[in-house]
Structure 1
Amino acid sequence: MSSRRDFLKLSAITGAVGMLMPKFAGASTKVNKPIVVSTWEHGTPANEAAWQVLEKGGRALDAIEAGVRVPEADPKVRTVGYGGYPDRNGKVTLDACIMDENMNCGSVAFLQDIKHPISVARLVMEKTPHVMLVGDGAKQFALEQGFKEENLLTPESEADWQQWLKDQKVQMINIENHDTIGMLALDEAGNLSGACTTSGAAYKMHGRVGDSPLIGAGLYVDNEVGAATATGMGELMIKTVGCHLVVELMRQGASPEQACRQAVERIARKLGDYAQFQVGFLALNKRGEYGAYCIQSGFNYAVRQQSGAQLIDGKSLLGGQA
């Protein structure tokens, strides 16, 4: 690993190059659409559900909701929705947000007993004057909208929680603790939308909320420029308003990968001991170009477009090309 001094020099150089680039310099005028990208391996089946909407000319907003509902309902995905790891009190608490091409957005946080928080978040966006509902209020709203109350703690997650109670070791969010699904889509009409949904950090304090339901931190969409979503330690994305930063870097002319890298480097510079943490970003711009970058190696992301599906290993600060 490079010394901190070498890293700071590299960061300064790459940041300066990004700032000097003309907006979308050398970019092709052709737009790659429709396309959907999402975080982690469980993004692959989620993308297929989204693609069924996109390939028929459907709206990006409908596609990303349909897509992330797949891992929300899959008990094998232990960091999203049904079957997600509980908090230290044994409660599965869910966070989600959604954002469309018109800057409309909706969010729920600390939601319990409702399997599809992303759909509740969309209804917050469409049926209330608010952006975010939390806790009992979010659950009350979901029930009023016809959602069914159900136990989200599967026997497998409960057994893991009981094991955790024996030593109560605090888990850091790192390469071994994959979390969240964030999804971004560009539809045939050239419009962007995004979603992010999670059960949060395993065995977190009861009431903890990360970046996933926070517009600007875990997700941001600007239909003039692009969209970004995040994964990893949510507290760090909140402190840096990370996804908004990535979109603004793309506005200045950075490619999606360059924007994600510059955002990661900014966080790393401020942390100093960044090797202990994992944060990563995935971005998609208005031309259908995509890219990702993170601190630790091991992060991957799924892509679905006309040419087919891919699962791509993201580049990282500590591992280069993972």
Structure 2
Amino acid sequence: MKIIIHGGFFSESDQSHDVKVAKQNSLKQIAQDSFEFLKTHSAEETVVHAVKLLEDDLLYNAGMGSQIQSDGKIRMSASLMNGETQKFSGVINIENVKNPIEVAQVLMKEDDRVLGGNGAKQYAAENGFADFSTEIPQRRKEYEEKLKNGGKGTVGCVALDQKGRLAAATSTGGKGFELVGRISDSATVAGNFANGYCAVSCTGVGEDIVSNATAAKIVTRVTDGFPLKNAVEKTFVELKEINGFAGAVAIDKNGNIAHQDSYPTMVFASFDGEHFEIFD
């Protein structure tokens, strides 16, 4: 059993040492909590649990920490993929729900498993999700002053459970001030992908991740026999060719873990029940 989570990027120039320490402590706690959850739950259930905790933490750009778009509204995207069943579900640009990843989880039972905009919100309401504004005063102030809060980013989790099953989940509040209708990578297989061989979750600039098909490429290469480390490295070499900005966390079926970013520093933490690895 292993778990690795990420919470976007940290910038020394934009954020203080105190924020860095807060993110390290937060990620360590969430990774440990989620590993305990993994002991009695499946990989799919665990990645949802971990991402929900990340969505509830104001340090990250998802759920409660989501950015405001150019028209003054918050729209969020999230997705879930079960490596065993090969099912993918997600919501795109959903408004007024507390935890988009939970809506994605409920969609797993549907034939139509990726919903966007008003349809996603209507589905959430019909399935018991309360109307909830994730806007906090800090975000409104940033929007009104036309400021971006640097160093934030998409959150995600990949997990390997005790039965050898893999899963990936990813959630984002967007990049802030984007054009209305913009779709990120987080609810696509470029940003979140898993099968029986590997699971990957990405963060960074969605357009770059989609152009590079980052998560799907890594998983496909591992499936075709690449060692995980090599699959990640080759994919990031190709990302560099388009000057792409991204980070990824991954686990393969043998419990190998990988993490890489194209520009420092992606914030992440992994835990296997004994050893932590946390971004520095």
* Common fold: TM-score over 0.5: yes
Q: Which residue of 1 aligns with 2:239?
A: 267
Q: Which residue of 1 aligns with 2:228?
A: 256
1:311 corresponds to 2:270: no
Contact 2:78 2:187 in 1 (8 A): yes
1:258 positional shift: 2.2
Alignment partners' CA distance in 1, 2:273 and 2:29: 16
Q: Which residue of 2 aligns with 1:243?
A: 215
Q: Which residue of 1 aligns with 2:20?
A: none
Superposed CA deviations along residues 20-52 of structure 1, whole A, max 9, x for unmatched, are xxxxxxxxxxxxxx1111113454333233212
RMSD over aligned Cα atoms = 1.8
DSSP 3-state at the match of 1:143: helix
Contact 1:78 1:85 in 2 (8 A): no
1:307 positional shift: 0.9
Match runs of 1:1-322 below 5 Å: 34-40=1-7, 41=23, 43-56=27-40, 58-74=41-57, 76-100=58-82, 101-126=84-109, 128-164=110-146, 176-214=150-188, 216-223=189-196, 225-269=197-241, 271=242, 274=243, 277-312=244-279
Contact 1:194 1:221 in 2 (8 A): yes
CA change 1:300–1:73 in 2 (3 A) is closer
Q: Which residue of 2 aligns with 1:3?
A: none
Alignment partners' CA distance in 1, 2:28 and 2:120: 29
Superposed CA deviations along residues 111-143 of structure 1, whole A, max 9, x for unmatched, are 0000110010011112x2112000010000001
1:78 positional shift: 4.1
Give 5+ residue unaligned stretches, structure 2: 8-22
Superposed CA deviations along residues 249-284 of structure 1, whole A, max 9, x for unmatched, are 222333333222211111222x2xx2xx52122211
TM-score where L is the length of structure 1: 0.77
> What amino acid is the match of 1:77?
L
Contact 1:260 1:280 in 2 (8 A): no
Q: Which residue of 1 aligns with 2:18?
A: none
Superposed CA deviations along residues 185-239 of structure 1, whole A, max 9, x for unmatched, are 000011111100010111111121100011x21111011x111111111111112
TM-score where L is the length of structure 2: 0.88
Alignment partners' CA distance in 2, 1:112 and 1:187: 32
1:290 positional shift: 0.6
Total equivalences in the alignment: 262
CA change 1:59–1:184 in 2 (3 A) is same
1:179 positional shift: 0.8
Give 5+ residue unaligned stretches, structure 1: 1-33, 166-170, 314-322
1:306 positional shift: 1.7
